[in-house]
Chains A and B, each alone.
Chain A
């Protein structure tokens, strides 16, 4: 099932399906090690429309709400 990263529960493992939005945001996420096809762990889903926290290749990255909605992920 493909959903946006903001719709996933904390603690779930997801695979990045696609990054919506322009070149800029995709490249910036790539730089932090987030590419389509990568598996990451959603450590904390946002609360009060706050940012989400993901663990990607053993590194924590905080993503603002606006960014997180643009990341489409596969959950099983």
Chain B
């Protein structure tokens, strides 16, 4: 059996998915986190099933790649049960998607999630009545607390076993008649089999001018398109509006009618969060708050990290003299042992102390719902570099990891915006590079220097954005973004999310770090290191860096953490400031910040924007890195 979670963005689908699949899909409080479906096995009371988490979509017409993915999955894959998740606090709007899902005639259960939010807004829903009107079972839930989810899956399995098909609801008589007539014409063709959708669904979509279906039919059958246009014309005549508007306003009215007949409104609760936006989105205080929040975030990461970095480094490095004594400084074994120790030390002492607080802070901001507010505040600035506010979301996620950030560009509507934003996200310091900024710049040159690096980075990204949008001048479609209510994050979900992201570091980066360190040790042992450094010396000499740094730049392409962690080893000292001047440390950081994305990023870039444009991104960022680092060498 295959159960599929469908619903509008930010209604809690992934939270429900994670409840039965383990924390696998990232959840946060802004629309459009899930951009790719995930599938998992689940068992419930001895029964097993597949469960699929789809990206959110506002309607069955898709406007961005994430919505398109959801639509494709719904229309093309075999689905045994649809769980239509609705944010109960936005019931009226949610029902518009529900009405379209019912037209698909699939076994359906409705999950009215966020009942707590609805109550806070004073919305009380008569679920029995709604269930009768829609003809499908309804379960109420509070997903992040797990409340009601057992009942939900019990119902889903029951519906799946009975395979009870949903029925569509009817619009006003005159509109319904046109839909019926078109349906009859569709029945005479093989389009319902071809597209694998019921004829009524196809009829309404065609009347709505659904681009995908129309284009597909246009290719072979212009005759049929004429028939469709005839019906569209009929609709236009009876309502004096374009046919897509007629259908969507019918749906809107039907939803509103349903909403009004099942909802009792009472007084909304008085809560502090209702007043937060008058400060956080204020034309003046909004920006001040943004700066203050970022500053607090920075200090949190820096002070937590600094407490742990030094004692941990000392702890690991105390073993080295001991190993040198017993194994002999020139022995192969000593080189391997010291490689392993330094790899371990790099992971535990340099990366983790900063990575954990950083990811925790990011998760906190994501779950409260602050990010869409930042998008709102930044929209006007992003317009000046030819993008719009929504692009800030991938850019902020870029501070976590570039790979999901590049994927998050799927929430942008235009291809050009996706390309520009993808290139820019690769220049945002990801958690790995942030540990470099903290572990190297803040640690040796002080927190002010680190803040300078972050601010400088933002300026460079803005200028790069301006350059790219001048190369590709096109007007961006403009922002349409829902600003969800603030939530108090759940500690358990925060920690699960941090763990999911750290796991990536622990299982992929760390082994690489240890292997990398051993390889470097072996290179040193066989005196091959010098050869590689020689190859890279044009860069290191230009930047005025110690030649020994060269090899770390190669490793940095694998994983950005490697370049700093291995710097310690390549230079052969625990305290870098003894062999590198402040200028050199800054130059190195600026170079590593921008040069060539890591392998994982290159892979995802190829998938999202194609290999030619990826090559462009690589060259573009490399040039920026070289130019800026050279300047740093002479002016810092």
Give A contacts to B, CB under 8 Å: 23-33, 35-37, 44, 46-51, 53, 57-67
Contacts and interface: CB of A to CB of B under 8 A. Distances in A.
17 contacts: A24-B477, A25-B478, A26-B245, A27-B244, A28-B63, A28-B480, A30-B245, A30-B248, A31-B61, A32-B58, A44-B283, A51-B379, A53-B281, A53-B376, A62-B375, A62-B483, A64-B389
Nearest to B372: A62
Nearest to A69: B478
B165 interface: no
Nearest to B248: A30
Contact of A27 (B61, B281, B481): B61
B227 interface: no
B379 A50 contact: yes
Given A48-B380, A60-B482, 15 more contacts: A27-B208, A30-B248, A32-B482, A33-B96, A35-B248, A36-B245, A46-B380, A47-B283, A51-B389, A60-B483, A60-B484, A62-B376, A64-B479, A65-B380, A67-B480
Contacts of B96: 31, 33
B379 A25 contact: no
B90 to A, nearest CB: 6
Nearest to A49: B380
B383 interface: yes
Contact of A51 (B92, B242, B479): B479
Interface residues of B, number: 39
B93 A57 contact: yes
A64 B413 CA distance: 14
Contact of A64 (B90, B208, B480): B480
Nearest to B482: A61
Contacts of A24: 63, 477
A49 B63 contact: no
Contact of B482 (A23, A26, A59): A59
Contacts of B59: 27, 30-31
A53 B475 contact: no
Given A30-B252, A35-B249, A50-B380, A61 B281 contact: no
Interface in B231-277: 242, 244-245, 248-249, 252, 277
Contact of A26 (B244, B377, B475): B244
Given A28-B63, A44-B281, A48-B380, A62 B248 contact: no
A5 to B, nearest CB: 12
A58 B121 CA distance: 9
Contacts of A27: 59, 61, 63, 208, 244, 248
Interface string B537-569: 000000000000000000000000000000000
Contacts of B379: 50-51, 62, 64-65
B614 to A, nearest CB: 29
A62 to B, nearest CB: 5
Nearest to B61: A27
Contacts of A31: 58-59, 61, 63, 96
Contacts of A35: 248-249, 252
Nearest to A46: B380
Contacts of B244: 23, 26-27
Nearest to B58: A31
B335 interface: no
Contacts of B208: 27
B383 A49 contact: yes
Interface string B46-64: 0000000000001101010
Contacts of B252: 30, 33, 35
A75 B283 CA distance: 24
Contacts of B497: none
B605 to A, nearest CB: 27
